[in-house]
Every structure is written in structure tokens, then in C-alpha cells.
Chains A and B, each alone.
Chain A
Amino acid sequence: MPTTTIDSLATVFQQLFDDDELIVTRETTAADVVGWDSLTHVTLMLTIEKQFAIRFKSSQVASLKNVGELADLIDSLRK
């Protein structure tokens, strides 16, 4: 079964936040993940850029509400 963007993001999150049991869904927000602050958000976005070979604009990622919006953005940039 192909890996979904959410599945790939879950792996990124687990590695970045050093928590193999971290569960990531479309509804996951910063409030659900300990340590997900503005600076960690930057590290997360740069890691995702490298992983998916895309480039974000700051305006796209500054106000993402949840992982679902992030996954949708990644999918749109990969088309």
C-alpha cells in the first residue's frame, strides 16, 4: 500500500520530537505535541522541504492550523 503524506509526516514528527509512539493525524495541532513551538516549527518545515524536495513560502507555513493543512500543502507543491 502506498505511503500517504500523513504517514510520511508521522515518521518525520516521530524523529524530530524523538517520540516513536507519537500519533499524528490530520487533526493534530501544535497543542497536541510537546515542544512544537515557533522555532521547532521552522526545523520541521526545513526537514519536510528536504524530505519531499519542495520549497515553502513563509506565508504558506506561518499559519498552518493542523497537520492536515500541512499535508494538503505538501501534496499541492508536489503536483
Chain B
Amino acid sequence: MTELAATLLAYVRTHHPRSLAGVEEARQLDPDRFDGYAELLLGWAGRVLGDRAIPRTVDAFVEFTMDVNMAQGRYEASGSYEHKSYRECYDAVYADKAAMDDYLWGVYLTNFLWAHHLELSAFFETRFVAKLPERAALIELAPGHGGWGLVAMHRRPDARLEGFDISPSSIEIARALAAAAGLAGRARYELRDALDLTSHPAGSVDACICNFLVEHLEQPDRLFEVIEHVLAPGGKAFVSGALTAAQVDHIYEFRRESELVLLAERHSMRVLEALSVHPQRTLPRARFLPRSMSLIVQKRTREHA
């Protein structure tokens, strides 16, 4: 076990014993990948947050996971997501910078502390990042903390990335992590609505990353319009979404995997690969299985190709 992974587990054991089983489950799934992410993501966070890195990120992770599970419990009781509009989410979450910072640091470690997201992280790296063309130009839509795109840039020293997010907290944290990772020269972030890229040159990027934005949107088609616009023909996108998985700011309730597939196909994309994952344990007598699904899609070069 690596030093940061051991320190992480010790902190969870001492300060958040109720969360230990879930974290150990993730490590048991793929110990080498878990430890690798601990070194990478906690290493970067350490250069941004100093000695506070593990308490800051792990406390935020535990609170975020609690928030997600409480939202899921309320979803089970009511049968629908709590908020239906961006405005409601803005008032509940986005307007408060401290809450947004907590939220983003909380999400940061889910890429490997949630066992099912560790599976998605492996899928992202092995099936998408590894297969990017040489010297790929990427766009990341709503990077949040920036972790996904930065892992891609770390693994692909030949690639470069521009990230666009509507949240000032996101831009601040993503830029700080990029600098900490030594990637600021190749990963640049701009405060801009990711859905407002119609002025971005059409067909100008080789690949696109967009993880867990689509369920936050009132009109998910708009996201795929943007991806269709920026991708060069033959270019690929890695897009992830949540299905029957509640969170305080989830708006669009996808229920079936096919809904995401059909969204992509409506916008000149064909689905090359897909992976739908779920946590091993759910709330008792749950009607809904919370799932995360990632698609690797390719922009068609011809009507049926």
C-alpha cells in the first residue's frame, strides 16, 4: 500500500469509522488503481492545500456522500428529484462559494473512493484516454474540480485541454490543481457557460470530456448540441451521466441507459462503448438503483458511419 493510501485509510478509520467499509470496498476492487489515484489526486491536493489536504478532502467527501445518500432517500420517498430548475439549484447550492468549494472537494475523491466510480475511472483511462490521437486537442465541459481532464493530461503528455465551467469555484480549484500537477501549460480553464460554445470554432477539437453535467441540465439536448458543434468529424467524446441517482442539484431524471444513447444518436454521434455501474449496496427496500453511466461516442463522418 502506498503512503498516501495508508494515510487516507488511517484518517477515515479514526475520523469517519462509519465510512471505512465503503472505502475499503473500493480498494479491494482494484488495489493498484486505488493506490495510484490516492498518490496522484491526494498528491496534487497536498500541493494546493498543504497539511490540510487529507482532512479537507476526506471530510468533504464524507459529507458529500452523506448528502447524496440523503437525497436518494428523499427521492425514494417522493418518487422524483427535489429540484426541477437551474434557478432552484443555484439558490440551494451554487450561490454559496463556501458550499461550492466543499461540494467540489467532496466530489474530487469520489473518482476512486466510490468503488463503482473507480470502475468508471478505469474505463475512462483504458478505453478513452489511452486511445486519444497523438497531440490531441481536447475540450472539457463543466470540469468541476478538473480531476478527470487532469488525469487525462497526466497520462498523455502530448495532449492539451481547455475547460469551460460556469462556476468560479470550479475554475479556481481546477487551475490550482493544474498548477500543482505541473499541467498548467497544457490544461487551461475559462469561466464560461459550457453550453454557450456556439462561437467556438466548429469541428475544432479531437476529443471532448463531459462527466456528470447532463443530469444537472433542464435541457440535456443542449449539451449534445455543443459536443456535436466542437468535435471534428470522427472525434470522440467521453460523456457520463447519472440515472435514478439523486443529488441536491440533479434536475433531469434519466431512468434508462437507452435515454443517454438516444441523446447521443440524435446529435450525429454513434456510441462506441458504454459502461453502466452502480454501488454494491443501496438503501433498504430501494425502488431505484442509482447508476452512473459513461459513453464513449464518436461524431459521425457520414450519415451512417
- Residues on A facing B (Cβ under 8 Å): 30-31, 36-43, 45-46, 56, 58-59, 61-63
Per the bound structure, the CA–CA distance linking A63 and B18 in Å amounts to 9
Question: Which residues of B, 105-149, contact A by the 8 Å Cβ criterion?
Answer: none
Count of chain B residues with a beta carbon within 8 Å of a chain A beta carbon: 25
Cα distance, A15 to B242, chains bound together (Å): 33
Contact flag A63-B283 (CB < 8 Å), given A38-B65, A46-B73:
no
Between B64, B73, B74, the greatest number of chain A beta carbons within 10 A of the residue's beta carbon is seen for: B73
Q: Known contacts A38-B66, A43-B283; decide if A63 and B16 are in contact (CB<8 Å).
A: yes
Q: Given A39-B69, A46-B73, are A58 and B63 also a contact pair (CB < 8 Å)?
A: yes
B217 close to A (CB within 8 Å) = no
Q: Which residues of B contact A37 (CB under 8 A)?
A: 18-19, 21-22
B70 lies within 8 A of A63 (CB): no
CB neighbours (8 Å) of B65 from chain A are 38
Which 4 pairs from chain A and chain B are nearest by CB? A58-B67, A42-B69, A62-B63, A62-B66
In the complex, chain B residues whose CB is within 8 Å of the CB of A42: 66, 69-70, 72-73, 283
Closest B residue to A29 by beta carbon equals B17
Select which of B16, B17, B59, B283 is within 8 A of A39 by beta carbon.
Answer: B283
Please, what's the 1-or-0 string for B280-291, where 1 marks a CB less than 8 Å from any CB in chain A? 011110000000
Contact A38 B63 (CB under 8 A): no
B283: A residues at CB distance < 8 A: 39, 42-43
Chain B's closest residue to A56 (CB) is B70
Looking at chain B's contact residues, the main secondary structure is helix
Binary contact track B51-73/A, C-beta < 8 Å → 1, others 0: 00000000100111111011011
Within the assembled complex, what's the spacing in Å between the Cα atoms of A77 and B21? Answer: 30
Identify which of residues 272-286 in chain B touch chain A, using a CB-to-CB cut-off of 8 Å. 281-284
Nearest CB in chain A to that of B99: its residue: A59
Instruction: For the complex formed, measure the closest distance between the CB of A23 and the CB atoms of chain B, giving whole angstroms.
Output: 19
From A30, A31, A43, A62, B62 is in contact (CB under 8 Å) with: A62
> Given the known A-B contacts A43-B284, A58-B63, A62-B62, are A38 and B21 also in contact in the complex, defined by CB atoms under 8 Å?
yes
24 contacts between A and B (CB under 8 A): A36-B18, A37-B18, A38-B62, A38-B65, A38-B69, A39-B22, A40-B18, A42-B66, A42-B69, A42-B70, A42-B72, A43-B283, A43-B284, A46-B70, A46-B73, A46-B74, A46-B77, A58-B64, A58-B67, A59-B102, A62-B59, A62-B62, A63-B59, A63-B63
A61 to B19, CA, bound (A): 13
Given contacts A46-B77, A63-B59, 4 further A-B contacts (CB under 8 A): A38-B62, A39-B283, A40-B18, A46-B73
B9-60 with Cβ < 8 A to chain A: 15-19, 21-22, 59
* A58–B282 CA distance with the chains assembled, in angstroms: 18
Candidates A30, A43, A56, A59; contact of B17 at CB < 8 Å = A30
